[in-house]
Amino acid sequence: MIALLIRDLKLAFRSGGGFGLGLAFFLLVAVLVPLGVGPQGGTLARIAPGILWIGALLACLLSLDRIFALDFEDGTLEILIPSPLPLEGAVAVKALAHWLTTGLPLAVAAPVLAVLLHLPASGLPWLVASLAIGTPALSMIGAFGAALTVGVKRGGLLLSLLVLPLYVPSLIFGAEVVRRGAEGMAVGTPLAFLAAITLGSAASLPFAAAAALRMSLRQG
């Protein structure tokens, strides 16, 4: 399990693209929005929580198809199925590796971009906290979506159509945490919901994703 995690992390770092790309995309979103909306600080501060969360969502989405596609092409997935590690565990590890290479860096980089968007300083810790708590769910849901589309040729667009509606609850609660944090209100409730979604997906979606993977591979 740990070997698989290390392997996935190494691949993500060394193959280039995947790791830095998500971050760069996140940066671009945060830079482009003020260019489109105009530089008024008040407006930017108000929409900053939503923009940052949507940016994180899309940055996550970018690298989702890498979770299984490469391993599917070179046959690694077929070796993983009969291996002693249950496929559910392998899926969870791959989602974890995806989170470590996209979600976690996003959460770390977010405060810098939040300053660009004039997010009040009181919101910064909550921004980091909400991204750190919420993005594991994005990786897990994304792994499920990637498992569904792994056998589909040119499944990238289909993947976003399947996955984005599933991101709705995380987006709503995540942005709500940041907004309330920035306005100095209590953030406990949305933060608890956000954590609940993450824990719920981590507990149940590996089974759904593993089942989908087995089904996709059986046809081959």
Partner 1 sequence: MSLWEYANPKKFMQTSGAVLPWVAGLAAICLGTGLIWGFFFTPDDYRQGSTVRIIYLHVPAAMMAINAWAMMLVASLIWLIRRHHVSALAARAAAPVGLTFTLIALATGALWGAPMWGTWWEWDPRLTSFLILALFYLGYIALWQAVENPDTAADLTSILCMVGSVFAVLSRYAVNFWNQGLHQGASLSLDQRENISNVFWLPLVISIAGFVALFVTLVLLRTRTEIRARRLSALIARERLA
- Residue numbers of the site for partner 1 (CB under 8 A)? 144, 148-149, 151-152, 155, 158, 161-162, 164-166, 168-169, 172-173, 176, 189-190, 193, 197, 205, 208, 211-212, 215-216, 218-219
Contact status, residue 182 vs residue 123, Cβ threshold 8 Å = yes
Structure tokens that stand for 94 in this block: 């791959």
**Minimum CB distance to partner 1, residue 15 (Å):** 26
Closer residue to partner 1 (CB): 4 or 131 = 131
Closer residue to partner 1 (CB): 14 or 153 = 153
**Minimum CB distance to partner 1, residue 202 (Å):** 14
Closer residue to partner 1 (CB): 8 or 176 = 176
**Minimum CB distance to partner 1, residue 172 (Å):** 4
**Minimum CB distance to partner 1, residue 73 (Å):** 17
> Which amino acid type is present at position 167?
Y
Closest alpha carbon to 98 in 137, 141, 64, 56 = 64
Closer residue to partner 1 (CB): 52 or 109 = 52
C-alpha to C-alpha distance for 46 and 218, rounded to whole angstroms: 49
Residue 220 DSSP label: -
**Minimum CB distance to partner 1, residue 145 (Å):** 9
What does each C-alpha distance from 40 to 32, 46, 191 come to in angstroms? 14, 10, 29
Contact status, residue 180 vs residue 104, Cβ threshold 8 Å = no
C-alpha to C-alpha distance for 165 and 200, rounded to whole angstroms: 17
Handedness of CA 140, 144, 150, 154 (dihedral sign): negative
| Ordered DSSP codes for 62-86 | HTGGGTTHHHHHTTHHHHHTTSSS-
Residue 1 DSSP label: -
**Minimum CB distance to partner 1, residue 148 (Å):** 5
Closer residue to partner 1 (CB): 12 or 61 = 61
Closer residue to partner 1 (CB): 24 or 199 = 199
